[in-house]
Amino acid sequence: MSNFRLAVAGFATLIFMSIGCSNKESNSVNEVKENPSETITNKIPEEAEVRGIFKRSFEIYELDANGKVYYVADPKQLLVEDSNETGQDDYYKLFETCVVGVIGSEGGYGPTGKYENEITVSKICV
């Protein structure tokens, strides 16, 4: 009988601990909901203007600017359109340009992860 009481007491303790943990978790969620503007402003990345030489060839999509080489993410294909205006109609591109975009944090970018920096192009500079 004493083992039964010990098992019930242990089980009850486990239940109360799990209820307490789940209550604490919901409190932290409420804290985030109380300050949504701070969370949103922290997640909006800033855009930067970068001038350099754009190069596209097999597995290369890069912008060489001021000694840094950026892997280029161009979801709107703005650089390809810009290269067509300069008379470069084939797949391989090499020309000087200026882009505005969001610079990613340092890490391994590109198909082989060899690029330390990335820029996601949102528009072409004038």
Give domain limits for the chain: 2-43, 47-124
8 Å CB contact between 112 and 59: yes
Q: Please say whether the structural domain 47-124 has been given the CATH code 1.10.490.
A: no
pLDDT, tens only, 39-67? 555 667 789 999 999 999 988 899 999 89
* Other Cβ atoms within 10 Å of 59 Cβ, number: 9
pLDDT, tens only, 6-15? 666 666 676 6
Is pLDDT above 80 for 81? yes
Task: Give which of 83, 59, 82, 81 is closest to 72, Cα–Cα.
Answer: 59
Name the E strands within the chain: 47-57, 60-65, 68-73, 93-103, 117-124
Please give the model's pTM, rounded to 2 decimal places: 0.61
8 Å CB contact between 104 and 59: no
